[in-house]
């Protein structure tokens, strides 16, 4: 599933990464604890989180994560977006809760990476 397809399914706002919407993601991982992301997430996946701080981007960078989706209407500040821009990561934001976001993507064929 491409990042663009996820964006449409989730009615998500693209905060950065229009040029990455054609990128294909095979796995998704959701967590608010970055230690769980480091321990269990697959490389080259999409991260779904409600945690809205720069550590999310730094953690995602270590795992070569292509896209971060912020849930529950959380909006990262410009510092987080600038950090993601520098790392070449797409940033999306949706009003859906984490459980609903995961359910929508799962229903359309995307699987967890752990």
Which helix (H) or strand (E) is 29 found in, with range? strand 27-30
Candidates 3.40.1390.20, 3.40.980.10, 3.40.1710.10, 3.30.565.10; correct CATH number of 3-112? 3.40.1390.20
CA angle 47-48-52, nearest 5°?
100
SS3 at position 83: helix
pLDDT tens digits along 57-102: 999 999 999 999 999 999 999 999 999 999 999 999 999 999 999 9
Short-list 62, 54, 67, CA closest to 27: 67
Residue carrying the six token digits 């984490």? 98
Residue 41: what pLDDT? 80
In the chain, where the domains are located? 3-112
Closest Cα partner for 80 from 50, 58, 98?
58
């Amino acid at each position: 599933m491409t990042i663009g397809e996820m964006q449409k399914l989730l009615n998500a706002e693209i905060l950065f990464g229009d040029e990455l919407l054609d990128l294909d993601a095979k796995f998704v991982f959701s967590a608010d604890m970055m230690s769980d992301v480091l321990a269990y997430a697959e490389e080259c996946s999409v991260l779904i989180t409600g945690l809205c701080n720069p550590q999310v981007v730094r953690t995602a960078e270590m795992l070569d994560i292509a896209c971060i989706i912020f849930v529950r209407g959380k909006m990262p500040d410009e510092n987080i977006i600038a950090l993601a821009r520098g790392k070449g990561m797409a940033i999306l934001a949706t009003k859906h809760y984490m459980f609903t976001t995961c359910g929508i993507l799962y229903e359309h064929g995307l699987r967890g990476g752990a």
